[in-house]
Amino acid sequence: MSIRFALLSLLSGREMTGYEVSQQFGRSVAHVWHAPDSQIYPELRRLADEGLLDVEEVDDGARAAKKRYRVTDAGLSALRDWLAEPTPGRRQRDPAYLKAAYFEWTTTATARERLQEHLDFHAEQQRMLEEARATLLDRSHPTLRRRLERYPASEHERIVAWKVFAYDGLVDAAAREVAWARRGLELADRLGDGLGDGPAAGRQA
């Protein structure tokens, strides 16, 4: 259900067409909440149907009719209500950890592959997040700039501070995953090639 609030959050910065939303989404909110186009467009329509967004058909003649969305007062108030609601505790559900806990069933070589994969993925995530964090800090992030323009300078620090805080957490999380995978690779080294009688060898007692 958060997809709608991710969209309201993004649109709270400025009005956008559906296409812009789908583009901007990837460059900003997606770092905290991923969603594909096939979820974005229908949800925009639903939000409009419920009066949380205003739609304006922008017919620029030639091109396909685009729609410009703007958050309504009802939309803002839904956003505030959501922020004021307790956040349901997140369920543990990461396949990488599930696999790791049962690496006994595979060879050390395979475990190493999975860990290297994990390392590469989160190192790349970390890089992207650090980059985004930097453009927030120096206020060069385009979506943020447009957002700040609407508020007095006295508010800017507060707005930026929370976003940087969120990104700090994400960068840390990615770095932690990288470190974990590294420790796993070291453990693989210590365990050696796993030859022997173990479950990994396919024999059971």
**In the complex, which residues of this chain contact DNA (CB under 7 A)?**
1-3, 17-20, 22-23, 34-39, 41-42, 44-45, 60, 62-67, 88, 91, 93
Residue 33 Cβ vs DNA, minimum distance, rounded to whole Å: 8
Nearer to DNA by Cβ, of 58 and 201: the residue is: 58
Residue 117 Cβ vs DNA, minimum distance, rounded to whole Å: 16
CA-based torsion, 29, 34, 38, 44: positive or negative? negative
Q: d(Cα 132, Cα 136) in Å, to the nearest integer? A: 6
Q: Between residue 85 and residue 114, which ones bind its own copies under the rule CB under 8 A?
A: 86-106, 110-111, 113-114
On whether the CB atoms of residues 167 and 31 are closer than 8 A, the answer is: yes
User: Quick check: 197 binds its own copies (CB under 8 A)?
Assistant: yes
Q: d(Cα 58, Cα 123) in Å, to the nearest integer? A: 41
The upper half-sphere exposure of residue 110, i.e. CA atoms within 13 Å in the direction of its Cβ, equals 13
Nearer to DNA by Cβ, of 41 and 121: the residue is: 41
The position carrying tokens 């620029």 is 60
- Burial of 83 from C-beta contacts in 10 A (0-12 / 13-18 / 19+): exposed
- Interacting residue with its own copies among 121, 123, 135, 182 (CB under 8 A): 121
User: Quick check: 159 binds its own copies (CB under 8 A)?
Assistant: yes
Q: d(Cα 204, Cα 3) in Å, to the nearest integer? A: 47
- Contact code string over 28-67 relative to its own copies, x by CB under 8 A: -xxxxxx---------------------------------
